[in-house]
Chain A
Amino acid sequence: MRRIQVNVNGVTYEHEVEPRLLLVHYLREGLNLTGTMVGCNTSNCGACTVLLNGESVKSCTLFAVQADGHEITTVQGLQTNGDWHPMQTAFHENHALQCGYCTPGMILASVSYLKENPNPNEEDIREALEGNYCRCTGYENIVKAVQQAAGQTS
């Protein structure tokens, strides 16, 4: 077991964890933050995407011990004082989700990407989200939502 201290969505947690515990399981089962999904468990689908120090990562491909001393943001930490993040609003307004399973990962990957490229075109967005699968095939509206959010934050 190993002691870790992680700041998740602005709250600092300290826990003893097994080194083999994947970050996604720590978030879901250790902290009960079930907004982060497990899709493929093979590092392909992006459902488990969270921000590590502001950058998108696949939390199924990271051990919780690697996050020791770092900041994690999940979809449940995106709002400020009860107001949705512009990306959340854009997904809502553009009907960019159907079942919603891929949505937390889509939103976090998009938030991370706009920090790197605040003015993406449609192709840029599709490429940036190539590692986030939507099995409801709602990509059209997802891309529109990211375009809307980009317009607002740049």
Chain B
Amino acid sequence: MIPMAFDYEVAESVDHAIDLLGQHGEDSKLLAGGHSLIPIMRLRLAAPTVLIDLGRLEELRYVRDGGDHLAIGAMTRHRDLLFNDLVKEHCGIVGWTAGLLGDPSVQHRGTLGGTLSHGDSSGDMPSVITALEGELTIKGPQGERTVEAADFFQDYMMTDLGEQEVVTEIRVPKLAPGTGWSYKKFSRRSQDWATVGVAAVVERSNGSIGSARIALTSMGATPIRAAAVEQALSGASPDAVAEASQSADEGTNPSSDDAASAEFRRHLARVFTQRAVEEALGR
């Protein structure tokens, strides 16, 4: 349970981190909250030769009002999001879900940038940011670029991040007053990762559903949009939710493991999609 030896560098700025990544090459890794990386280093599933610590970059720890969106610094801790007033007012799903990750001690360390960059499709935040159609700002030697969440998550533990790139900011839309949200997570024990999770962002319009955006956790290699349900619900009456949710597992590719069989995961996706959309409609 002792990680392999490595060298340790402290990034003094984002540009410095990019330089250090270039200097040390492909076996170096960024360290944010360390709450995915250190556990896998202890198990020696990862053995970076150099760790570049972003932990001193307080300038990446913020939530700002960007007009129609919130801009969240990559090093913002889960627990910061849980208690943040701007998040509570404009995009409650982000703070609420942050409060579900591990326990308070995990939330004191883990960061939004870290959990997205890790790219684990059983992570809760990747689905939430996908359902919100959020964007990531990424900085590298060639400068800055913006990527939509849908394009960021590419495969199991694989993101669009280049070797010398750093996620600096995450942008999520401010939800209009008529828009409800929900994140439903099924896990067998407290603190466990999601066996299945469902993020729903639902726009109401004159008593019916305007649009619904639904993203599923642990149903494939990346967060997956429940496109068939979204389509069925567009412009539909709230009475349509139960039936529409029956197609929540269409186009998914869940695996079987100790926590659940693929079939059980499909069942959970259908049930929890219904519950999430219903809760979103009531919120």
Contact = CB atoms under 8 A, between A and B. Distances in A.
A62 B103 contact: no
Given A20-B2, A46-B103, A131-B102, A61 B38 contact: yes
Interface string A16-34: 0011101000000000000
A37 B39 CA distance: 17
Given A41-B1, A43-B39, A116-B83, A66 B34 contact: yes
Nearest to B41: A20
Nearest to A43: B39
A44 B5 CA distance: 23
A56 B105 contact: yes
Contacts of B3: 20
B108 A44 contact: no
A113 B102 CA distance: 15
Contacts, number: 81
Of B103, B105, B109, chain A has the most CB atoms within 10 Å of the CB of B105
A42 interface: yes
Given A20-B2, A130-B190, A63 B105 contact: no
A28 to B, nearest CB: 14
Of B1, B5, B35, B108, chain A has the most CB atoms within 10 Å of the CB of B108
Given A57-B108, A130-B191, A19 B51 contact: yes
Contact of B106 (A58, A63, A129): A58
Interface string A84-117: 0000000000000000000000000100110010
A113 B104 contact: yes
Q: Is the interface of A mostly helix, strand, loop or mixed?
A: mixed
Contact of B104 (A18, A62, A65, A131): A131
Interface residues of B, number: 29
Contacts of B53: 65-66
B5 A62 contact: no
7 closest A-B pairs by CB: A131-B103, A19-B8, A130-B190, A41-B1, A56-B105, A55-B108, A20-B3
Interface of B: 1-8, 31, 34-35, 38-39, 41-42, 51, 53, 55, 79, 83, 102-106, 108-109, 190-191
Interface of A: 2, 18-20, 22, 41-44, 46, 49, 52, 55-58, 61-63, 65-66, 109, 112-113, 116, 128-132
10 contacts: A19-B6, A20-B2, A44-B191, A46-B105, A55-B79, A55-B108, A58-B105, A62-B38, A66-B55, A112-B105
Given A43-B102, A55-B108, A128-B103, 17 more contacts: A19-B6, A19-B7, A20-B41, A22-B42, A42-B42, A52-B108, A56-B105, A58-B105, A58-B109, A61-B109, A63-B34, A63-B38, A63-B51, A66-B31, A112-B105, A130-B190, A131-B104
